Amino acid sequence: MANGVVLSVSQLNRYVKSIIEQDINLQTVFVQGEISNFTNHYKTGHFYMTIKDEYSSIKAVMFKSANVRLKFMPENSMSVIIRGRVAVFERDGQYQLYIDEMQPDGTGALSLAFEQLKSKLAKEGLFDADKKKAIPAYPMRVGVVTSPTGAAIRDIINVISRRFPLAELILCPVAVQGDYAAPQIKAAIELFNAEKAADVLIVGRGGGSVEELWAFNEEIVARAVAASEIPVISAVGHETDFTICDFAADLRAPTPSAAAELAVPDSYQQLEMLASAKRRMLSAVSDRLAAKRAMLEKHGARLRLMSPQNYIDNLRVRCDRAAMAMDSAVRSGLTDKSKELSTLCAKLDAMSPLKILARGYSVASKQGKIISDIGSVEKGDTINVKVSGGDIECEVTNVKGS
């Protein structure tokens, strides 16, 4: 120095440090630049980096006490705006920037944090479709993780009591915004799973700003939702609001009311479906019975045709018909024969010797034989002469030839 005092390196560095740290202009500075050489010192939790522009660079550090408030993770080549102070790291004689706050340049910190976490969890497979669980068709216990005083729980109660009053509604009250919200939401989801206290979970809240909805963008909430063995329906904000919780859940609902509608069936619709099914079933049973009855009648008729009794009855009918035919044939034959006999009798009667005898003729016989010629008798023979009214025995006294 000018007075000839010889300083140690430590003394020199301490002197420069005191000069810089006493400069009020360096106690709070805002710096815009690009991050390079970023290091996350996991043991201490401190961030180390270099902030540079086109022409210069400066070493920088952000201690854990400051970086825990960050909503995003700094990365190399990221353009940022920093609030901090300039001081000297006495050991190395190097001045550097001590960062108190940091935000992305151009893109909002929350928006960047959202995209970073979404990309990170997507790469891990937390949002994969094949990991989504089906929502039960008829849940008897519906768990709700939300504020006990917000509009969301009132909407959910109204919808479920109207649609499916059989379901039991179980509320685990939590904060839905602020620093304590994310840990409480995580703990509530884990409690429901540990106690197996619900068949389906609705996790959410009503609308709000990005900052008010931010608890549902926290990593611990997303991991708790993805790890839940109970199917989870995410219902955060309004239809246009999207959170990390929505992607991690098994089903996203645009509003808490819509989540309640997705969680339970409509009992009136179910009753109508049952009534319709009953009508279809009765109609089907009636048609089937009619078809079976017709088939039974068909088989019964076939069995009646094939039965021994029916066979015997058929034979009996055939026998009766044959007997009738035979009787008719016999009667017809007898009639014909009777007519023939009458004709023959008439002819016989006409040719009867008695008729001839009645007209004055007689028949002579000898020893029972008709005397047909004169050579059959001799003089002295006794002959019988049959005349009308009786027989005459005569003695032949003479035989004369013609």
Instruction: Look up the CATH number of the domain holding residue 255.
Output: 3.40.50.261
When pLDDT is averaged across residues 195-203 and rounded to a whole number, the result is 96
The reply to whether 292 and 180 lie within a common domain is no
90 HSE (CA, 13 A, CB side):
12
Question: Has residue 100 been placed in a domain?
Answer: yes
Nearest 5°: CA angle at 164, between 163 and 166? 160
Q: What is the identity of the amino acid at 251?
A: L
For residue 63, give the CATH number of its domain. Answer: 2.40.50.140
- 35-65 burial, b at 16+ Cβ within 10 Å, e below that, comes to beebeeeeeeebbebbbeeeeeebebbbeee
Q: What is the mean pLDDT of the chain?
A: 86
d(CA 202, CA 153): 10
Q: What is the identity of the amino acid at 36?
A: S
Identify the pLDDT of residue 401: 73
Identify the pLDDT of residue 224: 96
Contacts 24+ apart (CB under 8 A), 207-210: 207/237, 207/238, 207/241, 208/177, 208/237, 210/110, 210/111
- Burial classification of residue 254, based on how many CB atoms lie within 10 Å of its CB (0-12 exposed, 13-18 middle, 19 or more buried): middle
Question: Has residue 332 been placed in a domain?
Answer: no
The reply to whether 101 and 121 lie within a common domain is no
Q: In the numeric block, which tokens belong to residue 402?
A: 């013609």
The reply to whether 249 and 162 lie within a common domain is yes
When pLDDT is averaged across residues 252-259 and rounded to a whole number, the result is 92
- Burial classification of residue 112, based on how many CB atoms lie within 10 Å of its CB (0-12 exposed, 13-18 middle, 19 or more buried): buried
Question: Has residue 193 been placed in a domain?
Answer: yes
Question: Has residue 271 been placed in a domain?
Answer: no
Helix (H, G, I), strand (E, B) or coil at 212: coil
Number of domains observed in the structure of the chain: 4
Q: Which residue has the higher pLDDT, 68 or 201?
A: 201
State phi, psi for 147 to the nearest 5 degrees: -75, 140
Identify the pLDDT of residue 108: 64
The reply to whether 386 and 261 lie within a common domain is no
Strands of the 382-387 sheet, one edge to the other: 369-370, 363-366, 382-387, 390-395
d(CA 118, CA 247): 8
Identify the pLDDT of residue 3: 62
pLDDT tens digits for range 329-362: 888 878 888 888 888 877 777 776 666 666 667 7
Beta strand 200-205 pairing with 251-252: unpaired
The reply to whether 126 and 230 lie within a common domain is yes
Confidence band of 257 (pLDDT split at 50, 70, 90): very high
When pLDDT is averaged across residues 21-47 and rounded to a whole number, the result is 86
Contacts 24+ apart (CB under 8 A), 185-188: 185/145, 185/215, 185/216, 185/221, 185/224, 186/220, 186/221, 186/223, 186/224, 188/145
Q: Is 285 left (phi over 0), alpha (psi -120 to 50) or beta?
A: alpha
Range with the poorest average pLDDT among 57-61, 228-232, 308-312, 350-354: 350-354
Q: Across the strands, what pairs with 251?
A: 233
The reply to whether 145 and 218 lie within a common domain is yes
Residue after which a domain boundary falls, among 265, 290, 305: 265
The reply to whether 71 and 97 lie within a common domain is yes
The reply to whether 45 and 77 lie within a common domain is yes
d(CA 335, CA 343): 12
Q: What is the identity of the amino acid at 292?
A: K
Confidence band of 369 (pLDDT split at 50, 70, 90): confident
The reply to whether 302 and 258 lie within a common domain is no
The reply to whether 241 and 175 lie within a common domain is yes
- Burial classification of residue 145, based on how many CB atoms lie within 10 Å of its CB (0-12 exposed, 13-18 middle, 19 or more buried): buried
Q: What is the identity of the amino acid at 252?
A: R
pLDDT tens digits for range 271-297: 788 888 888 898 888 889 988 888 888
Question: Has residue 326 been placed in a domain?
Answer: no
pLDDT tens digits for range 374-387: 877 888 888 888 88
Question: Has residue 331 been placed in a domain?
Answer: no
State pTM to two decimals.
0.55
Neighbour tally for 327: CB within 10 Å: 10
The reply to whether 124 and 252 lie within a common domain is yes
The reply to whether 98 and 127 lie within a common domain is no
Neighbour tally for 81: CB within 10 Å: 14
Confidence band of 241 (pLDDT split at 50, 70, 90): confident
Does position 2 have pLDDT exceeding 90, yes or no? Answer: no
- Yes or no: say if 371 and 384 are a contact pair by the CB < 8 Å rule: no
86 HSE (CA, 13 A, CB side):
15
| Domain that residue 391 falls in | 355-395
Question: Has residue 274 been placed in a domain?
Answer: no
When pLDDT is averaged across residues 216-237 and rounded to a whole number, the result is 94
Q: Across the strands, what pairs with 101?
A: 83
Whose structure tokens read 């070493």?
A: 59
Question: Has residue 66 been placed in a domain?
Answer: yes
